């Protein structure tokens, strides 16, 4: 795939509208082309910092079905024909009209709010988890190239010093099954972060270090210390300590905490969360 062909597909890719083979081909190109990686990162950052904030949230599926049912009950044939030709969720952007209809139906808006908070996580924490998972996927697939690699935690701390407005403290935990592969300066939504890529027992783990103010904006309570969100099969663990905040992403649950903590530490997880492979 040439750069011109790849760049013509950027918007479809970011909108999630590329077919499997096309998506794989584009990601392969991005992996080998630093210029396209940079442009993709700029476009994604622009969307995250500006466009996503201005756009409406997608309506939940239950609300979507109710609106479609009400509209299909209207007598106009052209309305029904339009609906049939725009069934794809990405095509049905329900904004002000949806809110109005839901209010007429009664109680819908409150239901939407509770569905978004149904897993016990605030909307802001969920958004942070989504951004963390997205950055984790790009970082571990090589779509976000390292700024630094093959450094000890201490040397990597020094590299970030002066480049960020907060201190990056990385523990020295020498273990044969733990490797710090690389790091870079990146963004979680509109917050600049230090992004670290580890491997623990051959499994990818990303650690994002962010300003304490970013954590405070989530409006979270003090207990438990570690907040957990599961998104797209990834566990995202968020906490604050020593004047900064952290977001840890992996597919290995609380075991990923061995990146930052020793096995014998007693960590304050939510009740029922599987920490280090044990309840």
Q: Report pLDDT digits (tens) over 146-158.
A: 999 988 999 999 9
Confidence of residue 173 (pLDDT cuts 50, 70, 90): confident
- β-strand partners of 194: 185, 209
pLDDT over 80 (residue 112): no
| Rg (alpha carbons) of the chain, rounded to whole number | 21
pLDDT over 90 (residue 7): no
pLDDT over 80 (residue 98): no
Average confidence score pLDDT of the chain: 75
Check residue 31 and give its pLDDT.
Answer: 85
Distance (Å, whole) CA 112 – CA 162: 43
Residues above pLDDT 90, as percent of the chain: 20
Could you tell me which of 274, 266, 217, 256 has the C-alpha nearest to residue 240? 217
Check residue 208 and give its pLDDT.
Answer: 95
**What token pair was written down for 12?**
């479809």
pLDDT digits (tens, 9 = 90+) for 182-196: 999 998 877 899 999
Higher pLDDT, 66 or 111: 66
- Using CA atoms, how far residue 76 sits from 2, 81, 82, 84, 91, in Å, is 47, 9, 10, 13, 21
Check residue 242 and give its pLDDT.
Answer: 81
pLDDT digits (tens, 9 = 90+) for 248-270: 999 888 777 776 765 555 555 55
**What token pair was written down for 56?**
């409406």
Lowest mean pLDDT among 74-78, 230-234, 241-245, 266-270: 266-270
Check residue 273 and give its pLDDT.
Answer: 47
- Using CA atoms, how far residue 129 sits from 111, 137, 189, in Å, is 22, 12, 10
Check residue 263 and give its pLDDT.
Answer: 56
Q: Stretch 121-127: mean pLDDT, rounded?
A: 69
pLDDT over 80 (residue 111): no
Check residue 209 and give its pLDDT.
Answer: 93
Q: Are 59 and 67 in contact (CB under 8 A)?
A: yes
Distance (Å, whole) CA 68 – CA 259: 48
Check residue 41 and give its pLDDT.
Answer: 83
Q: Stretch 80-103: mean pLDDT, rounded?
A: 48
Confidence of residue 97 (pLDDT cuts 50, 70, 90): very low
Residues above pLDDT 70, as percent of the chain: 70
Could you tell me which of 128, 124, 118, 116 has the C-alpha nearest to residue 237? 128
Distance (Å, whole) CA 101 – CA 62: 13
For helices 34-46 and 20-32, what crossing angle results, to 10°? 110
Scanning the structure block, which residue is given the tokens 């002066």?
162
């Amino acid at each position: 795939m040439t750069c011109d062909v790849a760049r013509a597909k950027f918007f479809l890719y970011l909108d999630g509208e590329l077919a499997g083979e096309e998506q794989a081909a584009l990601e392969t190109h991005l992996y080998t082309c630093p210029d396209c990686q940079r442009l993709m990162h700029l476009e994604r950052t622009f969307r995250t910092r500006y466009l996503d904030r201005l756009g409406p949230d997608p309506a939940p599926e239950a609300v979507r079905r109710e609106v479609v049912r009400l509209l299909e009950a209207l007598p106009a044939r052209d309305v029904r024909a339009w609906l049939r030709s725009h069934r794809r969720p990405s095509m049905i952007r329900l904004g002000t009209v949806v809110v109005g209809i839901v209010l007429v139906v009664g109680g819908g808006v409150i239901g939407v709010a509770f569905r978004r908070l149904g897993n016990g996580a605030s909307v802001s924490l969920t958004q942070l988890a989504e951004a963390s998972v997205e950055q984790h996927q790009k970082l571990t697939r090589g779509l976000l190239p390292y700024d630094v690699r093959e450094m000890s935690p201490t040397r990597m701390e020094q590299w970030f010093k002066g480049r960020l407005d907060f201190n990056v403290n990385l523990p020295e935990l020498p273990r044969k099954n733990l490797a710090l592969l690389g790091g870079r300066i990146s963004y979680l939504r509109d917050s600049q972060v230090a992004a670290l890529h580890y491997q623990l027992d051959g499994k990818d783990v990303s650690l994002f270090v962010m300003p304490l103010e970013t954590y405070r904006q989530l409006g979270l309570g003090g207990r438990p210390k570690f907040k957990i969100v599961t998104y797209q099969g990834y566990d995202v663990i968020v906490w604050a300590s020593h004047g900064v905040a952290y977001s840890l992403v992996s597919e290995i649950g609380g075991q990923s905490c061995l990146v930052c903590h020793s096995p014998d530490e007693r960590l304050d997880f939510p009740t029922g969360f599987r920490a280090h492979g044990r309840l």
